Amino acid sequence: MNIARPLTFYIPQHRLAIRTLACTETSSFQASSAGNRLRGLRQHFASSCDKMAPTTKQYDYIVIGGGSGGSGAARRASGWYGAKTCIIENGRSGGCCVNVGCVPKKLTYNMAQINRALRNGRHYAYDIPENTPFDFGAFVEKRDARIEALNGIYETNWANEKIELIHGKATFLSPHEIQVDMKDGSGTVTLTAPKVLIATGGYPLKPTDIKGAEYGITSDDFFSMKKLPKKYVLVGAGYIAVEMAGMLNALGVEVHMFLRQSRFLRKFDPMIQDTMTKHYEDAGVIIHKNHPGIKEVVQVQAATSESDPSSKQLKLILTDGSEFECNELLWAIGRAPEIQDLDVKRIGMELGKKGHIVVDEYQNTSIPGIYAIGDVTGQAELTPVAIAAGRKLGDRLFGPPELKDSKLNYDRIPSVVFSEPNCGATGLTEPEAIEKYGKDQIKIYHTKFRAMFYDVFSEPERSQNPTEYKVITVGKEEEIVGMHLIGDEVAEAMQAWGVVVKMGAKKRDLDSCIAIHPTSAEELVTFK
């Protein structure tokens, strides 16, 4: 990208307002009957606007990206330490998590859980009709309203903490000079600061080597859908594919998962991979294992609108020559760092193999005074990680002397997949523990059982709902270095288990705690 470098100078805030007014061709201004003097004034401002170079504004801290990480970082710097801070945000406030990630996903998951509960109710003698009708479009409207409210809450919090929100696209002119192409079309402004944070997140990938790949959608588009299609294909085997497959299946959509291998969630412990893949099959998801891959996507019929893929028809031509028809195809093959607009190559920033910004343990990039956090760095792509990294960085850069060495510890970060049932993990998987400590040093505690909730179910559902736990310990002290859980309500329980493992608990600490009966989790404190 070739961006002409403008001349810059500083204009105080109140002057900026006058300049903006003068440059804006409002009809009320044109219709004014103020006569020649006003007309002349307008001409004067208009012509000087044409000649004016873009404004430069100065801050202590420029934060690029108003998502989870950027918000956490700016609020700590400005709200706690009074640093003069701005957030540059090109999209909707709150970023991925609020708009196209955790929040709409979890609300949709909750909705799907209700459908699942209605079906389960029959096993508890409720007279619930086979297919209780629901209005997905009406739900989406409620979900969107909540997201809009959250956008406002973010902006109110920033304003309360004296963070200036600048709506526009940021590009580096030099390491400490950032040009913002204003979203309202008013042109560009240049901002400078001794400290600049990049928190621009990522975007979902589509394959570049498959003809017609553009006819498929990504997780971003998933949240525009107001009508459910009949037959859905998901490509990918990670968090997003598994969560969306679970939700769609619970809502009665025919779901096909195309896996390159035989199991999904391959970054998780083999126990989770095996049990969850089998369970999804039992629950009705059609899993195409060792799938040959798609050669071409042909759009037979377009969707009537972005929000209604129900009439859309796609033909997938597979690499083995066979064909497969569906109404929607979602690529869930990972995310890439959002760095194109920033033009970080211009300032010589070091990037990793997949384009992520390389940072050290203190979130320093290769350029002094420029920092990066969150998904753009490719480190544990989770909302609380981005927030925590942003806060620690704020402590280090603007906090009191005792916090000058603050940094986030990326060890033993718990996470869950909002799958059906949930699964969660913290610490090392069994293969990782063996590799790190040696097989003879680790001891595994494992249990698989049917939760009491399913005792009154009839077969086959009775035996198809697994609960399974694995605890990995190391050495004579049996320190817990990994915990892997599958089961209903694991997502809520996992937070506390995350604390336990982070504290360095030993197996004997589990034993020392009295069980809570009757629960599933009591199995974790009653291992033999």
Distance in angstroms (rounded) separating the CA atoms of residues 329 and 229 = 10
323 assigned to a ligand binding site = no
Distance in angstroms (rounded) separating the CA atoms of residues 391 and 148 = 25
Considering CB distances under 5 to 8 angstroms, the limit depending on partner class, which of ligand FAD, ligand NAD, none binds residue 266?
A: ligand NAD
Q: Which CB, 374 or 394, lies closer to ligand FAD?
A: 374
Residue 256 contacts ligand NAD per CB under 6 A: no
Write down the least CB distance from residue 189 to ligand FAD, Å: 13
Distance in angstroms (rounded) separating the CA atoms of residues 316 and 103 = 31
Do 195 and 62 contact (CB within 8 A), yes or no?
yes
Among 231, 266, 289, 407, binds ligand NAD (CB under 6 A): 266
Question: For this structure, is 517 an active site residue?
Answer: yes
Considering CB distances under 5 to 8 angstroms, the limit depending on partner class, which of ligand NAD, ligand FAD, none binds residue 487?
A: none
The interface with ligand NAD within residues 304-363 (CB under 6 A) comprises 332-335
Considering CB distances under 5 to 8 angstroms, the limit depending on partner class, which of ligand FAD, ligand NAD, none binds residue 280?
A: none
Do 277 and 263 contact (CB within 8 A), yes or no?
yes
Those residues whose C-beta lies under 8 Å from the C-beta of residue 46, and which sit 6 or more positions away, are: 22, 23
Strands (E) located in 183-333: 188-192, 195-198, 202-204, 231-235, 254-258, 286-288, 294-301, 313-318, 323-326, 328-331
Residue 518's φ and ψ, nearest 5 degrees, are -95, 120
Write down the least CB distance from residue 397 to ligand NAD, Å: 26
Considering CB distances under 5 to 8 angstroms, the limit depending on partner class, which of ligand NAD, ligand FAD, none binds residue 213?
A: none
Residue 382 contacts ligand NAD per CB under 6 A: yes
The interface with ligand NAD within residues 393-432 (CB under 6 A) comprises 415-418
Residue 97 contacts ligand NAD per CB under 6 A: no
- Where does 161-238 have alpha helices with state H? 219-222
237 assigned to a ligand binding site = yes
Write down the least CB distance from residue 380 to ligand NAD, Å: 7
Residue 219's φ and ψ, nearest 5 degrees, are -60, -30
Reference 285, options 310, 311, 239, 254; nearest CA is 254
Write down the least CB distance from residue 511 to ligand NAD, Å: 30
Going by the DSSP 8-state scheme, the letter that residue 305 receives in this structure is B
Residue 445 contacts ligand NAD per CB under 6 A: no
Residue 178 contacts ligand NAD per CB under 6 A: no
* Residues lying near ligand FAD in the complex (CB under 6 A): 64-70, 88-91, 95-97, 101-102, 105, 169-170, 199-201, 219, 240, 338, 341-342, 374-376, 381-384, 386
Instruction: Give Cα separations from 338 to 73, 245, 383 (angstroms).
Output: 18, 26, 16
Those residues whose C-beta lies under 8 Å from the C-beta of residue 402, and which sit 6 or more positions away, are: none
Q: Which positions touch ligand NAD (CB under 6 A)? A: 207, 235-241, 243, 260, 266, 332-335, 381-382, 415-418
Residues designated as active site: 517
- Which residues belong to the annotated binding site for FAD? 106, 375
